[in-house]
Structure 1
Amino acid sequence: MSFGGPQWPQQPQQPNGQQRESWQQQPDPFPGAQAPQTPDWGALADASAARSRRKRWLTIGGGALATLAVGAIVATAVVSSGGTDDEAGKNGSPTPTGSAAPSGSPTPGPAFSSVAPPPPPNPRDFISSEAKDKAPLSAEGLFPGKKLTMSGREYKKGATSSTTNCASVTTGALGGVLKRNGCDRVIRATYVKDGVAITVGVAVFSTEAEALKAKNQAAGGIAPLAGAGVGDFCRATVCLRRANSIGRYAYFTQAGFTDGRKVTKADKPIFQASDDVNSFAFNQIYARGRAQASAAAGAPGE
């Protein structure tokens, strides 16, 4: 950079930042004329330093402005992009998942009834009173098929019978107990396995209370039912008798050996056979209640 007037050589800056001035006598180019004034080197140095500072601040300021300009461009691009997506949605393009529904058409929430649903019918209710226990009842319906299987143990079915003369199919005092408590009917079936025979008799009453009394007062037993390949058993010998009830049904079993042997507490096959047939009778009666409860639950208006 030059200033008006003659050019003057400048000394290089020393490492310590100070300048050293050195002068050499030159011939007078203008004899008789007034010598030119010596430049103010200090002032020139201060001016140069000020210009450098201004240039540096301008450079920094320009960088900041450039950064702000880039930020503004990016923000504009983001806003423009958002506007494009909104316009695309308005023009029928798929709306991104999770976007809010347009105002004026709120999305309906789930509706819950304040009324608790009625409890499902209890199967036991249908087998506890003849007023609700309307399903057909027969020996084949209560003891279906030609055999029963419990936990892998298979029993062959023998003869079956059904009678309204309850006392006629009993032994000992059981006939009087059934009659006294209003027995309506007795259905019997016999099962046999490995020399052990069991007759089960299901006595039907009008109410649960009658059946429960008959079970608790039981004495004597159900008469063994021979036939269909099963000979007489439990005649003039000792057999295992049991009495149970569920709902309006009392059921009685008599189990013994087909060869007429007496039953003792050590005869596990007798007890196992009695347990299996008693469980089968219970399951069949309860299944009757469950079927009627299921039908009632699916009926219109229930």
Structure 2
Amino acid sequence: MSFGGPQWPQEPQQPGQQPFGQQPGGQPAQQQYGQGYGRQGQQGQQPNQQQGPPFGGQPSPFPGATTDGTPDWGALADASAAGRRRKRWLVIGGGALAALVVGAIVATAVVKSNKTDDPAKNGTVTPTGSAAPTDAPTPGPSFSSVAPPPPPNPKDFISDEKKDKAPLSAEGLFPGKKLTMNSRAYTKGATSSTTNCASVAQGGLGAVLTKNGCDRVIRATYVKDGVAITVGVAVFPNEAAALKAKNQATGGIAPLAGAGVKDFCRATVCLRRANSIGRYAYFTQAGFLDGKKVTTSDQAVFRASDDLGTFAFNQIYARGKSQASAAAGAPGE
């Protein structure tokens, strides 16, 4: 096993010799006896035979010295090799011990981390007090496999008299004393409501309303800057009848005077229009209060007719929307 860092310490090398305890190439030297220096004195003597201390009986200045004062190079090489082995084992043992300590620290941190993360992973928190923790997972939300029904369509409620049950009146369709459309303010005049549909029609419109089963006509008149507009809403049993009345319309709704508005559109040319939504057909007649004939260049009359037709449409649709909202919130719907 090898470790990074400094290399093993080397003994100083004598000139012309290999390092103590090594052969060329770095291999440890083998112990040899019977030749050269080391543990043999003069040739022919027995190995390890001790000589008397030199210099008048003084001890050898260092271990491994021979009796003649010459160092025992073999003994020094053995001592150096033994020292290197001890250092090597100390470093190896120290590295192994450090690895064990680091492993123990990491293992402890992992265990603590797992214990800390468990509540987040499981979605539970250890209860306090005397209650025992439970291993049962927290139940998730449940959803019905049955798709909810779509919300009611407002047009369904204004297309058939069997569903269109909300109260119907002139004040309900045309509330207040004024209305504003596209930043243009109109003042309301007279209003009326009748079940005799033909009586409030001009030309051939009365016959058309009667033939298609008209139940009621509600009218209101508005004025602005010398222009008067009467809007009439005719009510039919179903959408098909209202659509036929619009397509067959001829003549127009009768102008409604009163409440400060004098007669208009008498023996002159006025702008007449017809449209429908659901079981309702609505008609407008617009002209000048002074009896002037309406031409295509009179944009004020056309704008007034557009504004009142749009207002009638919005009011009828709002009627269906309110009934649809009530049905959506009612039990069993």
TM-score range, shorter chain: 0.7 to 0.9
Q: What is the aligned partner in structure 2 of residue 179 from structure 1?
A: 210
1:210 to 238, 241, 247: 241
Judged with a 3 Å threshold, the aligned counterparts in structure 2 of structure 1 residues 106 and 255 are, in CA distance, closer, same or farther, namely same
Return the offset for 1:110.
Answer: 2.3
Deviations 1:111-136, CA, capped at 9 Å, x for gaps: 12111111111111111111111111
Deviation at 1:55, TM superposition (A): 2.5
TM-score by structure 1 length? 0.82
Matching residue's letter, 2:267: A
**What is aligned with 1:237?**
268
Displacement of 1:76 after TM fit? 6.2
- Taking the TM superposition and a 5 Å limit, the aligned residue runs for 1:142-291 are 142-291=173-322
CA-CA distance at 1:108 after TM superposition: 1.4
> Identical aligned pairs, as a percentage?
66
Letter in 1 for 2:169: S
Aligned length: 273
Task: Determine the C-alpha separation between the residues in 1 that align with 2:324 and 2:135.
Answer: 48
- Could you list the per-position Cα deviations for residues 54-89 of structure 1 after superposition, in whole angstroms to 9, with x for gaps in the alignment? 122123123223313422542464377569x57xx9
Amino acid at match of 1:292: Q
Rounded to whole Å, the distance in 2 between the matches of 1:169 and 1:122 is 32
Tell me: CA distance 1:132–1:255, structure 2 relative to 1, closer, same or farther (3 Å): same
The corresponding residue for 2:82 is 51
Q: Secondary structure, in 3 states, of the residue corresponding to 1:191?
A: strand
Distance (Å, rounded) in 2 between the aligned partners of 1:55 and 1:104: 55
- Deviation, 1:28, is 8.6
Contact conserved, 2:235 with 2:279, CA < 8 A, in 1?
yes
Q: CA deviation at 1:48?
A: 2.4
Picking from 154, 163, 179, the partner of 1:132 is: 163
Cα gap change, 1:247 to 1:66, in 2 (>3 Å): same
Distance between the aligned counterparts of 1:257 and 1:275, measured in 2?
15
Note if 1:97 corresponds to 2:120: yes
SS of corresponding position for 2:187: strand
1:40-64 per-position Cα deviation (integer Å, ceiling 9, x unaligned): 7232232122223212212312322
Kindly indicate whether the alpha-carbon contact (under 8 Å) linking 2:187 and 2:222 is maintained by their aligned counterparts in 1.
yes
- RMSD of aligned Cα (Å): 2.8
Q: Distance in 1 between matches of 2:267 and 2:241?
A: 31
Amino acid paired to 1:226: A
For the 8 Å contact 2:122–2:137, the answer to whether it is kept is no
Tell me how far 1:266 sits from its aligned partner.
0.3
Query: Using a 3 Å threshold, how does the CA distance of structure 1 residues 15 and 145 change in structure 2: closer, same or farther?
Result: farther
Q: Return the alpha-carbon distance in structure 2 between the equivalents of residues 186 and 152 of structure 1.
A: 28
Task: Determine if contact 2:158/2:164 at 8 Å carries over to the other structure.
Answer: yes
Q: Give the letter for the 1:280 counterpart.
A: F
Cα distance change, pair 173–76 in 1 and its aligned pair in 2 (3 A) = closer
Would the alpha carbon gap of residues 220 and 81 (structure 1) be closer, same or farther in structure 2, given more than 3 Å must change? closer
1:109 corresponding residue in structure 2: 140
AA partner of residue 106 (structure 1): P
Distance 2:228 2:249 in 1: 21
SS at structure 2 position matched to 1:97: helix
TM-score (norm 2): 0.74
Gaps of 5+ in 1: 1-11, 22-26, 90-94
